[in-house]
Amino acid sequence: MNTVEYKINELFETIQGEGAFTGQPSIFIRLQGCPVACSWCDTKHTWEIELEDKVTKEQIIAKTQETSQWASFSPEQILSLFKVQGFKAKHIVITGGEPCMVDLTPLCQTLEKAGYSCQIETSGTFDVRTTKDCWVTVSPKVNMRGGYEILASAMKRANEIKHPVATEQHVDDLKSLLAKHKVTNTPVYLQPISQKQRATELAIATCIENNWRLSVQVHKYIGIE
């Protein structure tokens, strides 16, 4: 029995809308806490870990809107919850917040042993601690307000690079990062920030020029979580 617990902001079943697993039925585990402070973040309610926001597991399960509330779950409790909720998906997406602030190995071991595949979505600013079979999506956040650097270890561990773009500077930042860490064979996805037309056009042109791939946040276009 694992004694480790994770601070969960929400847990739900949906369709993965980004990156290599776009279209995959998935169970999302959203962890609380992130110091990176991306200006365009759409989950700012997960940034702070406040004790007054700690609630019961039942309250997290019953959530119907975004809040900063969180509850502690062990890996076994998370697995049991999947069965109670009747979730059918076999792919797990661990996100945040910044999930790599904590060691995700016990959680992924428990889930993989039960027949699930695991994916982590991280900013690349913390060491990625997980199982060898876990798919790691690094969405590198360069020069964010939190002041965190992208780690070489995270870039090396990445199975895919998913980069938000709105301007040419974002593209230049990514190219510099890939060159710095000698990333050559990892699939690169460009994701237009906020689905704006100009950002989308830039992403499409850049993908064609560099033989990269486009990630358009399908879940936002079709109006699901």
User: Is 15 annotated as a binding-site member?
Assistant: yes
Distance from chain centroid for Cα 52: 25
Rounded to whole angstroms, how far apart are CA atoms 187 and 180?
Answer: 16
Q: Known binder of ligand: residue 23? A: no
**Contact in structure between 171 and 202 (CB atoms under 8 Å):** yes
Q: Binding site annotation covers 34?
A: yes
22 is known to lie in a ligand binding site: no
- DSSP for 33-85, written as a single string: ---S--TT-S-GGGS---GGGB--HHHHHT--S--S-BEEE-HHHHHHHHHHH
140 is in an annotated binding site: yes
* Residue 223 annotated as binding site: no
Do the annotations mark residue 118 as ligand-binding?
no
Residue 124 annotated as binding site:
no
Q: Determine whether the annotation assigns residue 41 to a binding site.
A: yes
Spatial distance between the Cα atoms of 168 and 91, rounded to a whole number of angstroms: 34
The CA distance from 72 to 4, in Å, is: 9
Residue 139 assigned to a binding site: yes
Single-letter amino acid code for the residue at 95: T
Question: Is 16 annotated as ligand-binding?
Answer: yes
Mark the binding-site residues for [4Fe-4S] cluster, compressed into ranges.
Answer: 34, 38, 41
Mark the binding-site residues for substrate, compressed into ranges.
Answer: 15-17, 30, 95
Mark the binding-site residues for Mg(2+), compressed into ranges.
Answer: 43
Mark the binding-site residues for S-adenosyl-L-methionine, compressed into ranges.
Answer: 40-42, 97, 139-141
Mark the binding-site residues, compressed into ranges.
Answer: 15-17, 30, 34, 38, 40-43, 95, 97, 139-141
